[in-house]
Amino acid sequence: MNVQNLKIALQRSGRLSEGSIDLLRNCDIRFDDGVGKLRSSAQNFPIEIFSLRDDDIPRYVEDGVADVGIVGENILAEHGCTVDMIEKLGFGKCRLSIAIPKNDDYTSVADLNGKKIATSYPGVLGRFLKQQNAAAEIHTISGSVEIAPGIGLADAVCDLVSSGSTLFTNGLREAETVMNSEAVLIARKNLDSDLTQLVDKLLFRIRAVNAAQRNRYILLNAPNEKLKKITELLPGIKSPTVMPLAEDGWSSVHSVINESDFWEVVERLKNAGAEGILVLSIDQMINGGCIS
Ligand code: PRT
Ligand code: ZN
């Protein structure tokens, strides 16, 4: 009988912590995330949660302290560990960018020649500069990178950006995107078959949760003579469900559509004669009691 637990490493306290915990909870994995607890076990899934500093996660997964982990692609790229990146998770999105004082002229990477760039990502930045044939000097610092130009420590910075407000308040502007990043699920190479099965089970749930978040459930009424055109506009997971309404000549249409093309489809449905269009997230469908 398999009693092996899957050990997962999450960021203990930081920008990825909430997203990682929410993801496991949305997968219906119940555990106690008591503050400061290094280790907790789930009550309803064979998984053990380790809370660690994000920088340590790739190495711990590589070394087998944990089997899988959730970490930013930026950390993976910098630390260069040999682990498998198995799924992009859609949260913790940011970019690693080179930023310069806002009044400096900038037309291309050639303008970085001879400049000193402060960063906590010397590995990724070094590869980028080499690939772009830019001869800039890298000055590695571990925190508060954005203040370096203001205090005369560097001419530019290479740091993570999400809203851009940190750069703005420090009088900097983005000049180059070095890489885009988001939280990813990583796994140790060559896991045994029991652990691989557990990873597959977890991955199945993660994919289902993320798909549900991207999709919308749509209900509408359609006059029967326009039904063919309206149903053709609905690229549902399967064909849309069509049911006759009590009112003669009308049908009710239900379908699932992807968020990215959502408003365009709604507009086209309206133009094609759909009425009473109602849109629900999959969460609302379940929690609102629409599914019986
Ligand atoms: O203690 P530990 O080592 O675990 O945490 P940490 O302080 O090293 O990392 P943390 O919690 O700051 O970030 C964890 C991960 O979140 C990063 O590795 C990225 O993958 C991701 N992430 C997403 C970000 C950001 N967005 C982000 N904006 N990490 C850092 N920032 C910082 C950035 O360095 C800059 O100081 O936020 C500032 C810029 O934000 P904006 O919104 O002003 O542009
Ligand atoms: Zn860190």
Whether 210 lines ligand 1, by a CB cut-off of 6 Å, is no
Sheet with 215-223: strands ordered across:
241-244, 250-258, 215-223, 275-281
pTM recorded for the entire structure? 0.87
pLDDT in the model for residue 115: 98
Question: Rounded to a whole number, what is the distance in angstroms from the first to the last CA of the chain?
Answer: 36
Please say if the pLDDT value at position 290 is more than 60. Answer: no
Mean pLDDT value of segment 176-190: 97
Taking the centre of ligand 2 as the mean of its atom positions, its distance from the CA of residue 151, in whole angstroms, is 24
Mean pLDDT value of segment 128-156: 97
Whether 180 lines ligand 1, by a CB cut-off of 6 Å, is no
Mean pLDDT value of segment 133-147: 97
Please say if the pLDDT value at position 226 is more than 80. Answer: yes
Tell the residue nearest (CA) to atom 20 of ligand 1.
72
> Which residue of 76, 162, 178 sits with most ligand 1 atoms within 8 Å of its CB, as the best mutation to test the pocket?
162
Pick the ligand that lies closest to the CA of residue 161. 1
* Alpha carbons 262 and 279: distance in angstroms, whole number: 10
Q: Is the dihedral of CA 250, 254, 255, 257 positive or negative?
A: positive
Whether 166 lines ligand 1, by a CB cut-off of 6 Å, is yes
Please say if the pLDDT value at position 2 is more than 60. Answer: no
Strand partners, 241: 254
Strand partners, 244: 251
pLDDT tens digits, residue range 233-243?
887 666 789 99
Tokens of 286: 């379940």
Contact predicate 118/157, CB 8 Å: yes
pLDDT tens digits, residue range 250-282?
999 999 887 677 788 899 999 999 999 999 887
| Strands in the chain per DSSP E | 6-11, 39-41, 47-52, 68-72, 84-88, 94-101, 116-119, 137-140, 156-161, 172-181, 183-187, 215-223, 241-244, 250-258, 275-281
Pick the ligand that lies closest to the CA of residue 96. 1
**292 pLDDT tier (thresholds 50, 70, 90):** very low
Taking the centre of ligand 1 as the mean of its atom positions, its distance from the CA of residue 129, in whole angstroms, is 22
pLDDT in the model for residue 35: 58
Mean pLDDT value of segment 162-173: 98
Tell the residue nearest (CA) to atom 42 of ligand 1.
163
**159 pLDDT tier (thresholds 50, 70, 90):** very high
Contact predicate 221/186, CB 8 Å: no
Tell the residue nearest (CA) to atom 29 of ligand 1.
160
pLDDT in the model for residue 291: 45
Pick the ligand that lies closest to the CA of residue 17. 1
pLDDT in the model for residue 65: 95
Contact predicate 66/49, CB 8 Å: no
If residue 262 lies in a helix (H) or strand (E), which one and from where to where? helix 262-271
Taking the centre of ligand 1 as the mean of its atom positions, its distance from the CA of residue 115, in whole angstroms, is 25
Tokens of 130: 């080499």
Mean pLDDT value of segment 107-122: 97
**16 pLDDT tier (thresholds 50, 70, 90):** very high
* CA-based nearest residue to 206, from 16, 27, 2: 27
Whether 72 lines ligand 1, by a CB cut-off of 6 Å, is yes
